[in-house]
Amino acid sequence: MFEKLIQKGLEKSAWLYHLNTGSCNGCDIELVSVITPRYDAERFGFKIAGSPRHADIIVVSGPITSQSRDRLIRTLAQVPEPKVVVSLGSCPRSCNVFNGSYCVEGPLDKYAPIDVSIAGCPPKPEAIMAGLVRAVEILKEKRRAMK
C-alpha cells in the first residue's frame, strides 16, 4: 500500500553513518564539508545519523586497521536492511600508502560487498555528492529486491 511512498522516501531521505576505520582524517573532513552551508547535502535529505540502527548508507573511510576490523564487522551487522556500503577515498579499496603495514587488514571488500566507491585522496565534496546520489539509486533497487 505504501510502497510508492516508501520508494519516494528512500530517494529523498537517506541517512548516513560515518565509520572511520583508521582513516587519516582527510576524508572525514571532506565528508563533513558536504553537510556545511556551501554544499548542503541536507537539501537532498542526507543527514548524518548518530547510530548505525538509523542509517541507510554506511560510509567507510580508512584502511581497515586490526583494531577497527571487529568493530567494522559488528557495526555493519547492526544496520537494518536495505543498506548500502560506500567506500570513501582510496584507503578502503586498496589500503593506499598504508598497504603492507603490520596493523592494516584491508581492503574493505574482504569483509563487506562495496556498492559504491568514491575515488580520491581525499575525494572532492562534489565527488562525494555524486557517489551518494548513486548510492541512493542502489538503495532503491535493494528495496525492490527485498519485496
Question: Which residues in this chain contact other proteins in the complex, by CB under 8 A?
Answer: 2, 5-14, 37, 40, 42-43, 45, 49-51, 53-54, 56, 78, 80-82, 143
| Sign of the CA dihedral running 2, 84, 136, 15 | positive
From the CB of 126, what's the least distance to other proteins, in Å? Answer: 16
Strand 84-88, strand 116-118: pairing: parallel
Judged by DSSP in three states, 51 sits in coil
Burial of 70 (0-12, 13-18, 19+ CB in 10 A): exposed
Q: Which residue's CB is nearer to other proteins, number 30 or number 56?
A: 56
Q: Which residue's CB is nearer to other proteins, number 38 or number 110?
A: 38
Q: Which residue's CB is nearer to other proteins, number 20 or number 96?
A: 20
From the CB of 78, what's the least distance to other proteins, in Å? Answer: 7
Q: What is d(CA 71, CA 126) in angstroms, rounded to the nearest whole number?
A: 29
From the CB of 90, what's the least distance to other proteins, in Å? Answer: 28
